[in-house]
């Protein structure tokens, strides 16, 4: 009888363990069955990922080649091609997850990426705007390395263009770093793009000189500059009656590759024009000032000063008139005069 009781207890224990492990075994069997059923999809997903990596490499090369045809900036081309490669790989992962019927994971990843992108956009909006402006400058190419530009009140040579800033070396030796957003959003002058530049030289001749002669001499002088652009005419226009001269502006074009080309042409034209006018007896007058001493106007200096300051011959006296005697000195002199008359 005791042996039977022990056997019954063991059987009950075994049945209890069996009841506890059966759900786990059933779950494992279900997972194994699902995994076996998922093996074809998993294989397809792995193939999709491998193909995505291969396609991403080809896309990266193609995008870099395309960017090199529209942009001269290597860092921009590399960044755009890398972004294209990462985009293709991510697309492959999303497709693989969809094949594995993990659409919920795909939706969660896309939603998370959207939220993260929005947060980063607000946090780094200035940096993002500079990056976008850098892409626009790379595509539009309004200037290149080595060009002479003027932007944001700075004139100099472009030394470097990157995704966030444009670096300019001014002609005074200063290095200026300007955000690309400011370069793209403000007026910019590119002096090197056309390879030529016009010089506007202002001058004036005396009222007593022959204006036709002065114009002819100026035009002949400037037309003789050897590095002038001979395909364009030299223009001279009188533009105003100045205080002591009739003013004009003479305009001509020169080849421009460096700032010294412009400065040399401007300096040589000034020296040549001055020498030509001296040889032709044409006067470049200096300012003349006339002093008027009257309240209303038209009165000379000798008409304003008191007559006591002039000698009998009409010329100005060197010594100023003696100051009037004080009251005590006048009384003393009168007293002495009275005493002498009484004696």
Token pair recorded at residue 281: 């007896």
Nearest partner of 100 among 47, 26, 30, 27, judged by Cα: 47
**Angle formed by the axes of helices 103-123 and 125-140, nearest 10°:** 90
Q: What is the DSSP string of 22-89?
A: HHHHHHHHHHHHHHHHHHHHHHHHHHHHHHHHHHHHHHHHHHHHHHHHH---HHHHHHHHHHHHHHHH
CATH (one of 1.10.287.1260, 3.40.50.300, 3.40.190.290, 2.160.10.10) for 20-123: 1.10.287.1260
Backbone angles phi, psi at 293, to 5 degrees: -100, 0
Between CA 30 and CA 32 the distance in angstroms is 5
The answer on pLDDT for 291 being more than 80 is no
Q: Do residues 149 and 156 lie in contact, with contact meaning Cβ atoms separated by under 8 Å?
A: yes
Q: Do residues 194 and 220 lie in contact, with contact meaning Cβ atoms separated by under 8 Å?
A: no
Q: Kindly give the residue spans of alpha helices, DSSP state H, lying in the chain.
A: 2-70, 74-99, 103-123, 125-140, 180-185, 211-223, 259-279, 301-304, 327-342
Between CA 94 and CA 102 the distance in angstroms is 9
Q: What is the pLDDT of residue 178?
A: 94
Non-local CB neighbours of 88 within 8 Å, separated by 6+ positions: 52, 55, 56, 59
Q: What is the pLDDT of residue 331?
A: 46
Token pair recorded at residue 333: 């002199």
Strand, coil or helix: 163: coil
Q: What is the pLDDT of residue 324?
A: 47
CATH fold of 143-190 reads: SH3 type barrels. (2.30.30)
The answer on pLDDT for 58 being more than 80 is yes
Mean pLDDT, rounded, of the chain: 77
Nearest partner of 153 among 178, 129, 173, judged by Cα: 178
Between CA 142 and CA 191 the distance in angstroms is 11
The answer on pLDDT for 247 being more than 60 is yes
The answer on pLDDT for 158 being more than 90 is yes
- Please give the share of the chain, as a percent, with pLDDT higher than 90: 30
> What are the Cα distances from residue 118, in Å, to 80, 94, 294?
21, 21, 77
Nearest partner of 179 among 196, 192, 201, 162, judged by Cα: 162
The answer on pLDDT for 98 being more than 60 is yes
Token pair recorded at residue 188: 């910019």
Q: Do residues 254 and 199 lie in contact, with contact meaning Cβ atoms separated by under 8 Å?
A: yes
The answer on pLDDT for 105 being more than 50 is yes
Higher pLDDT, 35 or 85: 85
Q: What is the pLDDT of residue 337?
A: 43
* CATH 1.10.287.1260 domain residues, the chain: 20-123
Taking residue 77's Cβ as centre, other Cβ atoms within 10 Å add up to 20
Q: What is the pLDDT of residue 22?
A: 63
Q: What is the pLDDT of residues 187-240, one digit of tens each?
A: 999 999 888 999 999 999 999 999 999 999 999 999 988 888 888 999 999 999
Q: Output the CATH code of domain 196-279.
A: 3.30.70.100
* CATH 2.30.30.60 domain residues, the chain: 143-190
Q: What is the pLDDT of residue 322?
A: 46
* CATH 3.30.70.100 domain residues, the chain: 196-279
Between CA 70 and CA 68 the distance in angstroms is 5
The answer on pLDDT for 2 being more than 60 is no
Min mean pLDDT across 107-116, 138-147, 252-261, 316-325 is at 316-325
Task: Report, as an integer, the average pLDDT of 160-166.
Answer: 85
The answer on pLDDT for 329 being more than 60 is no
**Angle formed by the axes of helices 103-123 and 74-99, nearest 10°:** 150
Task: Report, as an integer, the average pLDDT of 39-57.
Answer: 84
């Amino acid at each position: 009888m005791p042996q039977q009781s022990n056997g019954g207890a063991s059987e009950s224990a075994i049945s209890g363990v069996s009841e506890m492990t059966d759900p786990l075994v059933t779950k494992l069997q279900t997972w194994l069955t699902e995994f076996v059923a998922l093996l074809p999809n998993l294989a397809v997903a792995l193939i999709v990922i491998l193909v995505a990596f291969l396609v991403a490499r080809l896309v990266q090369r193609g995008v870099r080649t395309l960017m090199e045809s529209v942009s001269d900036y290597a860092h921009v081309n590399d960044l755009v091609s890398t972004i294209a490669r990462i985009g293709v790989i991510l697309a492959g992962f999303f497709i693989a997850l969809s094949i594995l019927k993990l659409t919920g994971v795909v939706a969660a990843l896309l939603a998370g990426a959207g939220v993260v992108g929005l947060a980063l956009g607000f946090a780094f909006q200035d940096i993002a705007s500079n990056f976008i402006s850098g892409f626009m400058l790379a595509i539009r190419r309004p200037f290149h390395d080595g060009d002479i530009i003027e932007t944001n009140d700075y004139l100099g040579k472009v030394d470097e263009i990157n995704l966030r800033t444009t670096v300019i070396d001014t002609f005074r030796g200063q290095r200026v770093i300007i955000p690309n957003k400011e370069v793209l959003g403000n007026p910019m002058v590119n002096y090197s793009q056309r390879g030529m530049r016009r010089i506007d030289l202002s001058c004036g001749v005396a009222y007593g000189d022959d204006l036709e002669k002065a114009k002819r001499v100026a035009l002949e002088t400037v037309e003789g500059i050897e590095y002038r652009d001979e395909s364009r005419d030299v223009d001279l226009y009188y533009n105003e009656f100045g205080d002591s001269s009739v003013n004009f502006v003479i305009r001509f074009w020169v080849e421009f590759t460096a700032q010294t080309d412009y400065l040399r042409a401007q300096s040589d034209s000034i020296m040549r024009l001055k020498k030509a006018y001296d040889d032709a007896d044409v006067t470049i007058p200096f300012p003349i000032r006339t002093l008027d001493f009257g309240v209303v106007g038209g009165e000379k200096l000798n008409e304003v000063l008191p007559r006591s300051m002039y000698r009998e011959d009409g010329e100005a006296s060197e010594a100023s008139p003696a100051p009037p005697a004080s009251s005590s000195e006048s009384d003393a002199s009168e007293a002495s005069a009275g005493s002498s008359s009484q004696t």
